[in-house]
Amino acid sequence: MNDTNKLKIGILGAGTIGKTLARKLAAAGHDVKVANSRGPETIDAETVATGAKAVTAAEAVQGVDVVILSTPPTALIKIASLLTTLPAETVVMDTSNYHPFRDGRIAAIDAGQVESLWVVEQLGRPIVKAWNSLVTDSLVNKGRPAGSPGRIALPVAADRERDRRIGMRLVEDTGFDAVDAGTLAESWRQQPGAPSYCTDLTREELPAALASAERDRLAKRRNLATEVFLERFPNLGEEIPPADFVLRVHRTLFM
């Protein structure tokens, strides 16, 4: 794969994040296929409005340079079998975050394992961690051209340098500054509860936020935020808190 050319991308997951990535990356000129667990006929017109193609999950990972996983972490276990025949050089990007109230308990993560390293174990291959540290509304509505004042920056972590480079390029193509966040072992710095998580920081602000993260406080801060959201929105998951409220809570508790 020549990573200077437009890329062939398969996206597994057509929720708000997956369909937004499909729309933005197709608009940027990439060849995008998108799939969900229910079949291509259930993917809405907005998802494919800029040129992405709705396909089956098996078709989404065939003949692509990059696979983007846009599902909760517990669903990745079911997806793993689709990735077993991918060439080693295929870049796999993961957008997921662990939220116990939604996902149930994952013992290894609760015991302190870095979320991205848990994902690697489930998939049996290296990944790029990206787009996980952004409020959904910001992903949908706040992308800006490169060089725009106040452009939001996102951390991108990976163990393979080439994977990280391609991941950063695709983040830039979706309208955000990409910041090299190092290896997956350090990607806890962009997990829920960290100062960089869903706080809409700029390229100038993000490095300090990554550096100031305190690993032993992540879960506590994540859970405090969940309690705040559940107190105001008891049907959290079915109803989505306003984006400005989410940002205020995260900035207060995480930074």
Give pLDDT, residue 237. Answer: 80
pLDDT over 70 at 4, yes or no: no
- Residue 1: predicted pLDDT: 53
Average pLDDT over residues 7-26: 97
Q: For residues 5 and 10, which has the higher predicted lDDT (pLDDT)?
A: 10
Task: Specify the pLDDT at position 167.
Answer: 98
Longest dimension (CA), the chain: 50
CB-based contact 103:134 (threshold 8 Å) = no
pLDDT at 26 exceeding the cut of 60:
yes
Strand order in the sheet with 153-158: 53-54, 31-35, 8-12, 66-69, 91-94, 128-129, 153-158, 177-180
Confidence class of residue 238 from pLDDT cuts 50, 70 and 90?
Answer: confident
pLDDT digits (tens, 9 = 90+) for 78-101: 899 999 999 999 999 999 999 999
Q: What would the pLDDT profile of 127-161 be if each residue is shown by its tens digit?
A: 999 999 999 999 999 999 999 999 999 999 999 99
Distance of CA 115 to the CA centre of its chain: 12
Confidence grade of residue 5 (pLDDT, cut at 50, 70, 90)? confident
CATH number of 71-254: 3.40.50
Burial of residue 44 (CB within 10 Å: 0-12, 13-18, 19+) is exposed
The yes-or-no verdict on residue 3 having pLDDT over 60 is no
Residue 214, pLDDT above cutoff 90: yes
Its pTM stands at 0.96
Identify the band that residue 7 occupies on the pLDDT scale cut at 50, 70 and 90. Answer: very high
Domain extent listing, the chain: 71-254
Query: Residue range 101-112: average pLDDT?
Result: 94
> pLDDT tens-digit profile of 34-83?
999 899 999 999 999 999 999 999 999 999 999 999 999 999 988 999 99
Q: Tell me: the pLDDT tens digits for 159-188?
A: 999 999 999 999 999 999 999 999 999 999
